Amino acid sequence: MGLEDLTQYLIFGALALFATIKLVIVLVKIKTYDKVKGVVTSSFKKEFIDADAFTKGGHNKYHFEHNGKVYDIEDNFFEGSTKLKEGSEAYFYVSKKNDNKIVKPGELNFIKYWVLVILVCIFGIILW
């Protein structure tokens, strides 16, 4: 095994370790939030050109209640999920310490990406 192989192992190993630590931090932090069921009150999609490529974005409005407080919130711009439809259920996470800190449904997708990064790094280490 040469220096180049060792460098590649170290890079993939460091990326896997970083992604794993980030995922654990997120999963531990989300435990300090209450999971709340809500409903999508409005949803529409928009296709637009971004850097010479077509992308889709969704703009959703939501309604839910937590600890007697009513929330009517919406996505910023077109960052929401294009799969949500008006009237469908959506889950939110509301901080137990500060009820103004809310994690919206579209913001939870990053967990899938971290798991993917971890798997790619592990397979990179195995296959190299």
The verdict on residue 95 lying in a domain is yes
Distance, in Å, from the CA atom of 70 to the CA atom of 125, rounded to the nearest integer, reads 49
Cα angle value 44/46/50 (rounded, 5°):
150
The verdict on residue 4 lying in a domain is no
The verdict on residue 33 lying in a domain is yes
The verdict on residue 116 lying in a domain is yes
Least confident range of 29-33, 60-64, 112-116 = 112-116
The verdict on residue 70 lying in a domain is yes
The domain in which residue 113 lies consists of: 13-127
Q: Which amino acid is at 84?
A: L
- Summarised one tens digit per residue, pLDDT across range 37-90 is 999 998 877 776 766 666 677 778 899 999 899 999 887 766 656 677 889 898
The verdict on residue 31 lying in a domain is yes
Token pair in block for residue 103? 């994690």
Task: Identify the residue with better confidence: 66 or 11.
Answer: 66
Query: Is the pLDDT assigned to residue 2 strictly greater than 70?
Result: no
Q: How many domains does the chain have?
A: 1
The verdict on residue 20 lying in a domain is yes
The verdict on residue 6 lying in a domain is no
pLDDT score recorded for residue 16: 78
Question: Using an 8 Å Cβ cutoff, are 54 and 79 in contact?
Answer: no
Task: Identify the residue with better confidence: 6 or 42.
Answer: 42
Q: What are the CA-CA distances from residue 74 to residues 8, 22, 77, 91, 94 (Å)?
A: 43, 27, 9, 13, 15
